[in-house]
């Protein structure tokens, strides 16, 4: 019986609730409304709701001008802006996009359960918190799931679907079907810290910071190596400045603690000091680079041999992390590669890239680092060793 009720979720007559009208919440509301759903967008702040409405009006008008949508007003009319969580009472699904704080989320989910129907799915857009912990606050924990969008949600194609140990098969199937119907690329991830993307991407920042701290190269040179030689859309320091060093550092600390202080995820003092100084990046006018008016960007040292050394070191760490995610059944090999290309715009899937380089070469480079530093962060994944021994490939 429950399956039939939940199954209606994927039809257009279901109301979608979104809690939190910040950039992520309003982005999710935009997607749902564009896909013909009536949406209830709730935020306790009148000011935040006003901003969200103004921002969505501007974005949707621009999309209408570009003929991406037939009518901006039609999409806006489907969104109800509200300060009352009780307005979620007729929703088929509620997606929470509020502050990354477990206690706050647990209180919110426990309260939502007293408002919504028995068949309503409760989803969290958390990027790194345990879905099982959030679900534990609910009497019907089987209806809780992680649905993690990437910012900006309307533009980024990837969505990670994260069932908790308590999540029912119906909830998982219906949630994934709904997001697929919204024309997003979905991947299924195990409920572990950072899921796929935020876990696998850690060395992109961490190893770049380590290379800088060792005095091998400056920010601009590392960024140049990764974009020009590696084909990445943004270098690690440009990207951290774009995300915000406060946000990126907090995620790093969270993942590090959640993995019982595994050295692979160890935060960097350089980033900590930038965050403490209020050098968050673009939003504060200063980060690894100076964004003040008239400030000149530093020039990179375009030494090809140095650039290749930087690229190889970061890339091997990323590949090893992707291999370890597969080894620990975080996701399928297809979903891991899809997540990294669609979620963070990597030029290639890391496992396919490993095949291209040659697994033996990847292992040799990691072992060289491991032998030199004697640090756990460079330990090769057991799956990589096993595959080299067997002469295997991922694809």
Catalytic residues: 127, 148, 160, 198
Q: Are 110 and 86 in contact (CB under 8 A)?
A: no
Name the DSSP letter for residue 9: G
Region of residue 151 (phi > 0: left; psi between -120 and 50: alpha; otherwise: beta): beta
How many Å apart are CA 26 and CA 72, to the nearest integer? 15
In 3D, which of 201, 200, 233, 211 has the Cα closest to residue 326?
A: 200
Distance in angstroms (rounded) separating the CA atoms of residues 128 and 136: 16
Distances (CA, A) of 369 to 167, 268, 362, 383: 41, 18, 11, 18
Quickly list H helices, the chain. 2-7, 23-34, 46-65, 72-77, 102-112, 131-135, 169-181, 197-200, 202-213, 219-224, 236-243, 245-258, 269-276, 304-327, 333-343, 350-357, 359-373, 382-390
Distance separating alpha carbons of residues 164 and 27, to the nearest angstrom: 24
CB 78 within 8 A of CB 105: no
Q: What is the DSSP letter of 215?
A: T
Say if residue 282 is exposed, middle or buried (CB neighbours under 10 Å; 0-12, 13-18, 19+): middle
Angle between helices 245-258 and 236-243 (to 10 degrees): 100
Q: Is the peptide bond before 5 cis (omega within 30 degrees of 0)?
A: no
> What pairing do the DSSP bridges indicate for beta strands 144-149 and 158-163?
antiparallel
**Count of CB atoms within 10 A of residue 392's CB?**
11
């Amino acid at each position: 019986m429950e399956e039939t009720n939940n199954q209606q979720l994927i039809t257009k007559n279901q109301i979608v609730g979104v809690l939190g009208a910040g950039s992520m919440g309003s982005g999710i509301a935009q997607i749902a409304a564009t896909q013909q759903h009536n949406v209830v967008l709730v935020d306790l702040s009148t000011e935040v709701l006003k901003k969200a409405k103004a921002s969505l009006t501007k974005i949707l008008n621009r999309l209408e001008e570009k003929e991406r949508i037939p009518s901006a007003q039609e999409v806006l009319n489907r969104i109800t802006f509200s300060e009352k969580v009780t307005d979620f009472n007729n929703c088929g699904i509620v997606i929470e996009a509020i502050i990354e704080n477990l206690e706050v989320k647990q209180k919110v989910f426990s309260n939502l359960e007293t408002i919504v129907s028995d068949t309503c799915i409760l989803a969290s857009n958390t990027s790194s918190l345990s879905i099982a912990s959030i679900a534990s606050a609910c009497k019907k924990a089987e209806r809780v799931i992680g649905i993690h969008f990437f910012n900006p949600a309307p533009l980024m194609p990837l969505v990670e679907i994260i069932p908790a140990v308590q999540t029912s098969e119906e909830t998982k199937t219906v949630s994934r079907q709904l997001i697929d119907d919204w024309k997003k690329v979905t991947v299924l991830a195990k409920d572990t810290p950072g899921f796929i993307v935020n876990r696998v991407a850690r060395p992109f920042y961490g190893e770049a910071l380590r290379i800088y701290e060792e005095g091998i190269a400056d920010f601009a040179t590392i960024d140049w190596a990764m974009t020009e030689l590696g084909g990445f859309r943004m270098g690690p320091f440009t990207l951290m400045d774009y995300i915000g060093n406060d946000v990126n550092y907090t995620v790093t600390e969270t993942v590090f603690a959640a993995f019982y202080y595994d050295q692979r995820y160890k935060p960097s003092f350089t980033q900590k000091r930038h965050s403490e100084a209020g050098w968050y990046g673009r939003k504060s006018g200063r980060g690894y680079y100076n964004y003040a008016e008239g400030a000149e960007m530093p020039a990179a040292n375009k030494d090809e041999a140095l650039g290749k050394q930087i690229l190889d070191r970061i890339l091997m760490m990323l590949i090893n992390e992707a291999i370890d995610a597969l080894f620990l059944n975080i996701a399928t090999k297809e979903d891991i590669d899809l997540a990294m290309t669609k979620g963070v715009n990597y030029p290639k899937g890391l496992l396919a890239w490993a095949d291209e380089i040659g697994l033996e070469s990847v292992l040799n480079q990691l072992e060289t680092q491991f032998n030199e530093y004697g640090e756990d962060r460079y330990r090769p994944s057991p799956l990589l060793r096993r595959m080299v021994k067997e002469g295997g490939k991922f694809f």
